[in-house]
Amino acid sequence: MKTVTMADVAKQANVSKSTVSQYLNKRYDYMGEKTKARIEQAIKELGYQPNIVARSLKQKSTKTIGVIVANILHNFSTEVSRAIEDVCHKADFHTIICNADDDPDKEKKYIEMLRAKQVDGLIIFPTGNNRDLYRKMLDQNYPVVFVDRSVPDIPISSIMLENEKASELAVDYFAKKGHERIAMITTPMNENVSSRVERLEGYQRALQSHGLDVREDYMRSIDPDQVEGILEEMLALDQPPQAILAGNDLILKEVLTFSKLHHFKIGEDLSVIGIDDVPYASFYSPSITTIAQPTFKMGKMAGELLLDKINKKSTADQRPDYHFEPTLMVRESVKDNKED
């Protein structure tokens, strides 16, 4: 596999490397037609492929960005990533996606790795626990955009859902359908991660606005694998909840598994709404009412914002965060208690 280099092309075409380089970069301004033709010919004959690594070294730009998602298992992450890829692709940027697996150490490793690879900027779904690193990048004026969560005291713009609104939409809908005992289950809280906290706050506030009790035993923040146990507990209460708000897709999955296992009929024995519009929501039986995030728009925004920072070198953020509106997708998993 002897590699063909620009020097080979130059020799073959009887011009200098500079001229070949000009040609490749389409700076034809003053290039003779015959020269052009000869170079083209030589490139074809030799099967020359430019070495982007060499170019990147010289230009100090790899035309590549990195995306570090907190946890690739969330549907949200993959959907947003694909939108980011779309935007970057159109701008001739490549995208490298890494999965921090909710582990700050992995996140750190990936940030360092990607920066060593000279990516031109980073989109991070932050674990929240690498504050020093985040700050360092900020200080260095390195282009970064956050997604899904903001980090207290780190003024890097974040592309987020209106999380409180998401819970409100769900609770409002439950209430409208005559539910009074509404529980919420989310994944564990991390004080450095805004979104989960906000969803819980929205849930509480919405309950209050409907004059419903906020009960500690209806509010649980736990790992997905503990959902089954928790649901058993909840549903064995004197006053079991009539409705469950699942804080994200992983929790929803566990709720559905539980109800199948224990023969609770969703939409009859138990009403359910999930935050995140999971792919199977529409063809599940019964179909699942969800709160959808505008993942495509959010990813697009994140990509555009980062590319702006990269191009304009104005990495300072004009505004703190970008909040996107959630949408209620009404389907069949909420019983209508008002009907009878």
20 vs 151, beta carbon nearer DNA: 20
6 binds DNA (CB under 7 A): yes
Query: Is the Cα dihedral 108, 109, 114, 115 positive or negative?
Result: positive
Question: Which of a copy of itself, DNA, none does residue 14 bind (CB under 5 to 8 Å by kind)?
Answer: DNA
Tell the smallest beta-carbon distance from residue 245 to DNA (Å).
Answer: 50
60 vs 263, beta carbon nearer DNA: 60
User: What residues have CB less than 8 Å from 85, skipping those under 6 apart?
Assistant: 95, 97, 303
Question: Which of DNA, a copy of itself, none does residue 5 bind (CB under 5 to 8 Å by kind)?
Answer: DNA
Residue that is written with structure tokens 């450095």 in the block: 192
Q: Among residue numbers 53 through 92, which ones bind DNA (CB under 7 A)?
A: 54-55, 57-60
Q: How far is CA 308 from the centre of its chain?
A: 18
94 binds DNA (CB under 7 A): no
Select from 11, 46, 50, 317 the one that contacts DNA (CB under 7 A). 50
Q: How far is CA 259 from the centre of its chain?
A: 29
18 vs 226, beta carbon nearer DNA: 18
Select from 1, 11, 12, 21 the one that contacts DNA (CB under 7 A). 21
Tell the smallest beta-carbon distance from residue 136 to DNA (Å).
Answer: 17
Tell the smallest beta-carbon distance from residue 240 to a copy of itself (Å).
Answer: 21
Tell the smallest beta-carbon distance from residue 63 to DNA (Å).
Answer: 11
141 vs 239, beta carbon nearer a copy of itself: 141
Question: Which of DNA, a copy of itself, none does residue 141 bind (CB under 5 to 8 Å by kind)?
Answer: a copy of itself
15 binds DNA (CB under 7 A): yes
Tell the smallest beta-carbon distance from residue 44 to DNA (Å).
Answer: 15
- State how far the Cα of 114 lies from the Cα of 98, in Å rounded to an integer: 9
Tell the smallest beta-carbon distance from residue 310 to DNA (Å).
Answer: 16
Stretch that binds DNA, among 9-17, 131-139, 192-200, 273-281 (CB under 7 A): 9-17
Tell the smallest beta-carbon distance from residue 306 to a copy of itself (Å).
Answer: 15
User: What residues have CB less than 8 Å from 321, skipping those under 6 apart?
Assistant: 150, 157, 158, 159, 160
Residues found near DNA in the complex (CB under 7 A)? 3, 5-7, 14-19, 21-22, 24-25, 30-32, 34-35, 48, 50-51, 54-55, 57-60
